[in-house]
Amino acid sequence: MTISHLTINKLHSYADYLKWQLEERIELIKGKIYEMSGPSRVHQKLSGRIFLEVGTFLKDKTCEVYSAPFDVRLPKKSNNDRDIYTVVQPDICVVCDHSKLDDKGCLGAPDIVVEILSPGNNVKELKYKYEVYEEAGIKEYWIVSPQDRTFSVYTLKDGKYHPSRIMVEGDIVKSKVLPGFKLDLKALFDKID
């Protein structure tokens, strides 16, 4: 089955999503289907580096780090699969509340999500996901641009995201969710080409 077999204009739930055996990888954002592009080598290199840094920092701590593919379900009304209309697969996410974890992934807002921009997905990452992450109460949203070699952190305060300045090579990323964590952007972007 391919995405072309689905009714694109209809709103879909997580219950629908679970029935599909698709060749393509997709996400649901507010019931709409969004196809995921295949990650590039540079995307995977950056994802691996960030995952390793966060995972090493979290050793012997209570929070856990996960990488895609990993379903994050963001319910609004109820936790019933039929009532969940947003299912995303962030490149990386950090979950500190273990009650949100189950065999399907994460049910509810992770504490941190990381998205690495790829050509063609910028509107999805910068607009649609930004909105659902903010609405869901995800405490930090990290956006990495391999093309520009930039890193931005959006921190939730009073229900709204507040952006860091755009960080570049030479800057150190810190996290309010993970006190003491530091990510050196010079090392992150070193030899990614």
Instruction: Check if the beta carbon of residue 106 is closer than 8 Å to that of residue 93.
Output: yes
Total domain count, the chain: 1
- What is the domain-level CATH number for residue 161? 3.90.1570.10
Whole-model pTM: value is: 0.92
Q: Which amino acid is located at 163 in the chain?
A: P
User: In this structure, what token pair is assigned to residue 71?
Assistant: 């379903």
**Confidence bin at 175 (pLDDT 50/70/90):** very high
CA-to-CA separations, 144 to 14, 33, 73, 128, in angstroms, rounded: 27, 23, 22, 16
- Has residue 23 been placed in a domain? no
As a whole number of angstroms, the distance between CA 12 and CA 157 comes to 31
Select from 173, 142, 174, 171 the least CA-distant residue to 156: 142
Q: Which amino acid is located at 130 in the chain?
A: Y
- Has residue 107 been placed in a domain? yes
Convert the pLDDT of each residue in 72-89 to its tens digit: 999 998 999 999 999 999
pLDDT, mean of residues 92-101: 98
Residue 4 has pLDDT above 70, yes or no: no
Domain that includes residue 131, residue range: 40-73+88-189
- Has residue 11 been placed in a domain? no
- Has residue 10 been placed in a domain? no
